[in-house]
Amino acid sequence: MCPRTHRVELNQWENRMMKFETFKSIIDEGVKYGLKAINLNNFGESLFNKKILEMVKYAHENGVLDIMMHTNGTVMNDSLAEGLIKNGLNRIIFSMDSISKEIYEKIRIGAIFEKTVENVKKFYDIRQKMKSKTPIIRVSMVRMKENDHEAKDFKNFWGNYADEISYTDYRNQDGLDKIDRYTKIKEENKSYSCPALWQRMTINATGEVTACCRDAGKRLTLGKYNKDNNLKSIWEGKILKESRILHEKKQAYKIDACNGCDHIRGMIKPDKIS
Ligand code: SF4
């Protein structure tokens, strides 16, 4: 399910973690300019980062109000749960995708269904025991051909262990998935203008900055964050400036990354879950 590992020839993703020092300087600079929200993800499992608890604590203590994390939940354990809750994580999203062992393990290769379910339930219990209202717990499902028939039961399965249940439509990141998993016909939307370019930056473990978290092929790379190239200069840089102009003119399809994105190639409307 991860575009990072989907195609060997992408070969653009080093298997490494962001260093604490890099994270710290991002927060320091961001906070100076009013940074209030971070999402500790991009094509990787943040719970593998040995410094993750310190990172959450640092961001929390330095004024970031909304610290959010997606996880597949496979390596969640008691001490990580206690640390995340205590250190100020505001939202956690468990990507579960299925309520049956067979489908779950087919989608999430290498994960063991019973173990992950237990990890998520335990996380909920620990939060209750610690009498904490945060992090808000969301369990999410990406709707695709393989699991769509489970959508309604998914809500019932997780209802007692989550504050929110969410559904997202499957999207084919950069067209890397050769299997058609869409549940509906998509409609092309060439005139789409994307808010992401004005809202956020995605900083990868290596310091490469992309415009958004959808760009698995790193086609809209804005620069490399380092001592000589800070976030402000990337945010105000030529590439982002020119991209914003194209989006404003409804010509986003002229940008390779955006043209390959589902926002342009077409969104599908999910059914209501009753
Ligand atoms: S790739 Fe998609 S999400 Fe990213 S900036 Fe372009 S249109 Fe927006």
Cβ–Cβ < 8 Å for 172, 264: no
Separation of 234 CA from ligand 1 center, angstroms? 17
Q: Which residues of 254-265 are buried (b: 16+ CB within 10 A; e: fewer)?
A: ebebbebbbbbb
pLDDT digits (tens, 9 = 90+) for 68-115: 999 999 999 999 999 999 999 999 999 999 999 999 999 999 999 999
Q: Is 196 in the pocket of ligand 1 (CB under 6 A)?
A: yes
Q: Which residues contact 137 (CB under 8 A, 6 or more apart)?
A: 92, 94, 120, 123, 124, 127, 161, 162, 163, 164
- Give residue 10's pLDDT: 58
Separation of 247 CA from ligand 1 center, angstroms? 10
Tell the residue nearest (CA) to atom 1 of ligand 1: 258
Residue in the block written with tokens 């209501």: 272
Q: Is 258 in the pocket of ligand 1 (CB under 6 A)?
A: yes
**Displacement of CA 139 from its chain's centroid (Å):** 13
Q: Is 222 in the pocket of ligand 1 (CB under 6 A)?
A: no
pTM, to two decimals: 0.92
Q: Is 174 in the pocket of ligand 1 (CB under 6 A)?
A: no
Tell the residue nearest (CA) to atom 8 of ligand 1: 194
Tell the residue nearest (CA) to atom 7 of ligand 1: 258
pLDDT digits (tens, 9 = 90+) for 199-227: 999 999 989 999 998 888 888 999 999 98
pLDDT digits (tens, 9 = 90+) for 28-84: 999 999 999 999 998 889 999 999 999 999 999 999 999 999 999 999 999 999 999
Q: Is 209 in the pocket of ligand 1 (CB under 6 A)?
A: no
